[in-house]
Amino acid sequence: MAGTTTSNFRLIINNGSTVGSTFDTTSQSITATMTGTHISANVQTIPTTAGGTAITITSGVATYGMAYFQNQDLVNYVSFGVKVSGTYYPIGRLLAGEEGLFRLDPTTTLYALANTASINLYTVISEA
């Protein structure tokens, strides 16, 4: 029997304007099939080292699936990106205290880079 990964989310935006001032997705629930059995959960220190630091995946996760990230810093943001020919290209970020969820591409190594000072990044990654 295959395992599952379930996430629940709701996005509410209020821009304070009278024109198009709110957006509400209503509650959503997504359940993804998990064919593997391993889960990687750890806190990794992400430094400000140029070029970024590869996200550590533990516990035998062979094929990346769903990934949850939480920036545990109270001040600094962390960017996420890829490396191409040794050059780091950021594609997103989590501000202090923010969290995010998305499916990882199983063929790409994800890198992170802290802004100003090192941060602790909590990660949970399931097998696909």
Spell out the per-residue pLDDT of the chain, length 128, in tens. 578 878 777 777 777 766 666 777 777 787 878 888 889 999 999 999 999 999 998 878 988 888 999 999 999 999 999 999 999 999 999 999 999 998 899 888 999 999 999 999 999 999 88
Distance of CA 124 to the CA centre of its chain: 9
Q: What domains can be seen in the chain, in order of their start residue?
A: 35-127 (2.60.120)
Strand partners, 5: 32
User: What's the whole-model pTM score?
Assistant: 0.84
- For residue 50, the SS3 value is coil
